[in-house]
Every structure is written in structure tokens, then in C-alpha cells.
Structure 1
Amino acid sequence: MDITEENVHGKWKEFILTNDHGMSVSILNFGGIITNMIVPDKYGKCENIVLGYNNYADYENNTNYLGAQIGRVASRIKDGSFHLNGSHYELAKNEGTHHLHGGPNGFHQIIWESGTHQSEHEVNLVLTHTSKHLENGYPGNLDISVTYTLNNSNELTLNYQAASDHDTPVALTNHTYFNLSGDMTDTVHNHRVQFDSRYFAELDEELIPTGKLIETTDTPFDFRNGRLLGDGLKSETTQQIIAGNGYDHYVMFGSEKAVTVSENNSGRTMKIHTNAPGVVLYTANGLDEGLKLNEGLSQKYAGVCFEAQPHPAALHHEGFPNVILQTEEKYHSYIKYSFE
């Protein structure tokens, strides 16, 4: 096990966590961004399986949120506003009239405080930050920590903790784009995905949840028996056309909060375990094309995101898991990525 630190882009630090089996994860203190994730394939060949920019400077305007930590609240908040405890809050609007992924100065755009720890069986990077009262419009001083832990079982775990001195919405997640093939010139059409998907949130033309939760049965959103992403990407349902001919939807878990993703050519399988109530499945339908990435130019469907989180549609609609962190509560969520 090892953890090293490098200065990059003249002002950031990049931490490289490495285990004894050829897996490594590279993380910036800027945005908590995962820039590389090296994982062996079925032949033992180690390749990068996440999308990242070739030039570190491109992360400064990371409108695709490649690899970034997202907060205070992931996903879109309708009209960039909400009511809480009798008060009205206006948030920074960075997608038309709406608020997306914490706003223009969200957690993907800050330099986090950092600390490391190493033991025989795992290495840890801890990033911390205090988001000030009314920053981007949110109430409360919010203390956050994100701990990245890599062990010798080829498991990367992200542990989120937070506390606030005001009641405030919190829904933290990571926005890494995965491509298990290790060939970033390939798309994710041949990635097979399986999870206990029970309901998905219907979207309007601006990708804002309407408040309606639709059963996944007999839809492209039913992954309970597993399906290739390509099958859904070929679908011409209204919901997928709205999302740019793909997935960009919040899907709620049933009893099992886990996702299994596999890619046959490489033989890689990734299992995601979380305590989040659902996941935003995003197949990079809106990924800007022609960006200079580590492995070549970006293209539509070049990666897939599994943004495990509660959803801020709860601020405007019933039926969605709560996103309000009370002052007397401690926020804790985790996402664990296991590779075989």
C-alpha cells in the first residue's frame, strides 16, 4: 500500500493511492476530482477506467463535472429556489433558471483541505471543507469531510460526513464517468448493468422531475434482471429522447442498494454498494464532444455515471427521500466501488 503526493497545475495537489494488486486512484484536492483509476482486466493488464482531462487546466471549467465531488446538493433544483422552515431561499442559477450540482461555485470548484493516512491494509485521503452560511444561497455553515479509502481487496470507498448549524438541504455524491473497457475510444453500449430498480423519476423538457415516480416494469429503466446500456440507448421512449437519447434519470432502489456493472471484453466487473436511496444514471448523453481527455477525444456515451444520492426533487414534491439535514443530525453516506 502506498500514497504519494504531487504538485500539479502550479496550485493543486494530486494524491495517488496505490494498493499491492495494481490498482491505483488519483485524486485532486481541487474539487475532490478523481482523475485516474487504474484497474487490472481479466488478463492482468492495468488500464484507466474513468474519464479525465489530458490537461489539468481544463478542470478549472469542468462543466461536465468529470470525476468531481458534488454538493451541497447534487442534481437540479427547480427554479433555483425552495422553502424551508417558513423562509424562502434563492440559489445561484447555473442552468437557465435552475440550480445544478451545487451551483457555479459548488464543491467541484473549491480547493479542499487534505490529510492522509497509511496502514498495512489500506490508504486514506481525507478532504475537508466548510461551506459558509448562504454560500450559493444555502442556509447554514456546513462542515463536510470526504474520506477516500483504497484497500488490498480492490475496493475504493467514499465516506461522506457533514453537520450544519442551520437546517439545510444536503445531497452529496461523486460524478465519475466509468468506462470499464479501458479503451476510451469505445462507448458504454456494451456495459451490462444490474440493480434493484423499482421506480424512476419522470422528467420534463428541462430535465426537471415532474414529481411523478414511474414503475420500471416493462420500461428501459428496469435493470432488475440486468441489461446492456446499449439496449436502452436505442430506445425511443419520450423520457430518453428528452434526456438526449439516453439516461439522465433518478432511479430509486428497492430493498438492495447495490449496482453491478460488467464489460465482457475486459472481463472487469464493478459492484457499487451505498446507503443512498437511489442513483442518477447518466450515460453522458450531453458530454461535450472533442474534449482532450487522457485517452483521446471525448464523445457522446463515452462513460456512465452512477450518482448515488437522495434527490432534491424532495424539496418540491412528496414521495422522494428527504434531503434536509437537521441541525441536531449528522449526515453520513458512502459509496463503495469493488472491482473483480
Structure 2
Amino acid sequence: MMYLPLMIRPLLFAAMIALSCSTRTADPMTSTAPDVDRSFHVYELQNKNGVRIKVTNFGGRIMELWVPDREGRFADIVLGYDSAAQYINGNPYFGALIGRFANRIARGRFSIDGLEYQLAIKNGAHALHGGPGGFHNVFWRSELAEPQGTQKLELYYLSRDGEEGYPGNLKVKVTYSLTDENELVLDYEATTDQTTIINLTQHSFFNMAGAGLGDVRDHRRQLMADRYCPVDDGLIPTGAMAAVAGTPFDFTQPHAIGERIGEADPQLRAGRGYDHTFVLNKPHNELGLAAVVTEPGSGRVMEVWTTEPGLQFYSGNFLDGSDIGKGGRVYVHRSAFCLEAQHFPDSPNQPVFPTTELKPGETYRQKTVYRFTND
């Protein structure tokens, strides 16, 4: 693994500095002292094959991800902006870490041990992606690590009791690793001092032809999922886990994203396209293959592996050309897709779904791997 020498000093945007770093403690996961650096830092990791990733501590966002095509030509395949500071006023989720609770919670309400909590509302009548002040909108403490010669970027955040309405002080660590097998590995862990709920994910918007280069309707996608979670008009799960067979949601064999997206299916109408969680055909908490996406023109292939029980597929339904991204490129309708490994939406209110509760003394762990090859 090679770390680019010119990037060892994180890029600072001095005009945005509000606080300086506090004194560090030996163990960031057990510290309760304030440790917030509200300046922008940007890090770049590169492996021996030239695959590279750029990450900022604001929202833990992936700003760039460069991978080769079948001819060895590199392209940046994630939507975003030229500078970290632009994410303050840009699309709130481009490349971001999402928490405390990814996806939606109906009416922003849930109960633990008979006590009801009201969350911050961001999506009409519902809570979405942790609320307006969710993990995508905070500065993470960042440091480089080099265990056994493999360089990694570690991000830490202490979410205080009551933040966005969630109970408990939640200590979170997310590690980005880039292997010489062209794998981007995300390891998550978290602990709490009070029973809470947690559902973390990564929200990169992918276009494997290159960010801003047309739409993704021709990308071919296969999902290892025989079932999915139908939703109501507010995109809240009904509680069912419906079979995909015979529906436009059947990606058990490869299909182009745009092949059936215009069909008169009530679920497609509800989300203005695909915006649904798929129930993966693997044991919960075991790392397994969840999805394979191929871009025919370039030959780029992305596999998604995860320990999570679900995978949210979003087909860029609300991209409308209003975002001007890297290099002045316009992000048009369906110019990207998202594959977000996670638990199911509204799980705290859906008893048939796997639990998302985390109790004191327990450790939340999740691993998701994006593996890049060519056809």
C-alpha cells in the first residue's frame, strides 16, 4: 500500500476553521473529552495498482474514487465536488457516512423499553439518514493508521446523548482501507452508554463510466436477493418481505438498471424509480456477496460484499441537473446509483425486521467491501 507523500499533510481550509483540535487521548473509542476539529482535512490513499481514494473528515465523505477500465484507463466513479468546503451547501449525502440511523423512521418516532423518542424530521413527516445534523453533516476526528504495513484512514465521532433526538452517548469509529486487491474496505464499530438504535451506511453515488458522464440506465446489476421490502407512498416499509420473482425488482440475474424502471409498477411509482431495500440471501452478520454491477462501455465491475442483512438500491431518482459537480459537470437525472449496505428502514417500529438496538456493553460491528475488477 502506498500513501501519496504530497497528501500526508491534510489540506486545510483555514477560512472554515471554528475550533482547533483538543488534546488527544490514547484511546479515541474510550475518551469522553471533547475532541472536535472543525477544519476541513482531505486525505488520499493509493494502492500499488494506481487505484486511489480521496476522503474528507467532513461527513467522512468519499470525494474521489479512481479505478481502471478494461484498457487500464482511470476514471473517478463517484459524484461529488471539487473541494471539501463545497459539501457544506451541496447535495447532503454525496459520498457521506450516514448515522445514527440510515434510511427512514416513520414519523421520526420509536420506543425503547416503553419510552418514546422523537427524532429530528427531515423527510416530510419522517426522519431520514439521522436527521439534519446526522453523521453526514459533522466533522469527524481523523488519523492515519498503519497496522502491519497497511495504511488506513480512521475516523472517530462522539454522538452525544440527545443529539438529533437519539438516546445515549454513542462512540463511533469508521475505518477506510484500500487493499492491493483493489478492494475498498469499510469497517464500522460503535459502543453506547445507554440503549439506543443504530444503522450505519456509506452513501456514495456511483457512475462507473465516470462521474458526470451520462446516466446509469445501461449499467447491469445483479443482486443476491430473492426478496425486497415494499414501501408506502412515504417510502416507509409496509413490514412485508415480498418475493422479487415476476416483478421489476428481480435482479437475481443481471439486468440493466433502466430496463424495467419505467414499468407501471406501484412500487416504482412510489419511489419514482428504485429506492428500496433488498433482503440479502445470506446469514446475518456473515460477510457475503450482495451485488455485482457492470458498466458495459468501460468494462468496470464493482462487487459489494457486506455483513449487513439488507442493501438499499437507489437509482438517482431525484438527481435533476441542479447539482454542478467536479470539473463543472452537471449531474443529470439518473446519473448515478447508490448501493447502501444497512439494516432495514424503520426497523425500530417493525418487529419482524432484525433488531437495530445497541445496549451498553455491546459493540456494533459492520464490514462492507467494494471490490473492483474488469469484465
Q: Give the shorter-chain TM-score range.
A: over 0.9
Aligned counterparts, 1:1-340, within 5 A: 1-3=2-4, 4=7, 5-10=9-14, 11-118=39-146, 122-182=150-210, 184-244=212-272, 246-255=273-282, 256-295=288-327, 296-340=329-373
Q: CA deviation at 1:8?
A: 4.5
- AA at the equivalent of 1:319: V
Post-superposition CA distance 1:27-50 (Å, at most 9, x none): 000000001000011111111011
Q: Distance in 2 between matches of 1:290 and 1:104?
A: 20
Q: CA deviation at 1:290?
A: 2.5
Structure 2: state its 5+ residue gaps.
15-38, 283-287
SS of the equivalent of 2:50 reads: coil
Q: Distance in 2 between matches of 1:14 and 1:25?
A: 10
SS of the equivalent of 1:207 reads: coil
- 8 Å CA contact 1:129–1:143 kept in 2: the answer is yes
Q: CA deviation at 1:241?
A: 1.2
Q: CA deviation at 1:289?
A: 2.0
Q: Which deviates the most, 104-113 or 194-203? A: 194-203
SS of the equivalent of 1:250 reads: strand
- 8 Å CA contact 1:93–1:103 kept in 2: the answer is yes
RMSD: 1.6
Larger Rg: 2
Q: Which deviates the most, 246-255 or 290-299? A: 290-299
Identity %: 36
Q: Distance in 1 between matches of 2:138 and 2:87?
A: 11
Aligned length, in residue pairs: 339
Q: CA deviation at 1:298?
A: 1.1
The TM-score, its normalising length taken from structure 2, stands at 0.87
| Structure that is richer in strand per residue | 1
The TM-score, its normalising length taken from structure 1, stands at 0.96
Q: Which deviates the most, 158-167 or 211-220? A: 211-220
Post-superposition CA distance 1:268-306 (Å, at most 9, x none): 111111000011100110124221111501111111100
Q: Distance in 1 between matches of 2:239 and 2:146?
A: 45
Q: Which deviates the most, 120-129 or 24-33? A: 120-129
Structure 1: state its 5+ residue gaps.
none
Q: CA deviation at 1:80?
A: 0.6
- AA at the equivalent of 2:80: G
Q: Distance in 2 between matches of 1:21 and 1:155?
A: 11
SS of the equivalent of 1:212 reads: coil
- AA at the equivalent of 2:73: K
Q: CA deviation at 1:313?
A: 2.0
Post-superposition CA distance 1:83-119 (Å, at most 9, x none): 1111010101112221100000000011111110247
**Structure 1 segments of 4 or more deviating over 4 A?**
none
Post-superposition CA distance 1:244-289 (Å, at most 9, x none): 1x11001110125421111111011111110000111001101242
Q: Distance in 1 between matches of 2:51 and 2:289?
A: 25
Q: Which deviates the most, 82-91 or 60-69? A: 60-69
- 8 Å CA contact 2:59–2:139 kept in 1: the answer is yes
- 8 Å CA contact 2:237–2:345 kept in 1: the answer is no
7 and 157 in structure 1: CA distance in 2 versus 1, 3 angstrom threshold: same
- 8 Å CA contact 1:201–1:249 kept in 2: the answer is yes
127 and 318 in structure 1: CA distance in 2 versus 1, 3 angstrom threshold: same
Post-superposition CA distance 1:156-205 (Å, at most 9, x none): 10100000011111000000011111252211111111121121111111
Q: Which deviates the most, 187-196 or 24-33? A: 187-196
- 8 Å CA contact 2:58–2:84 kept in 1: the answer is no
Q: Which deviates the most, 17-26 or 228-237? A: 228-237
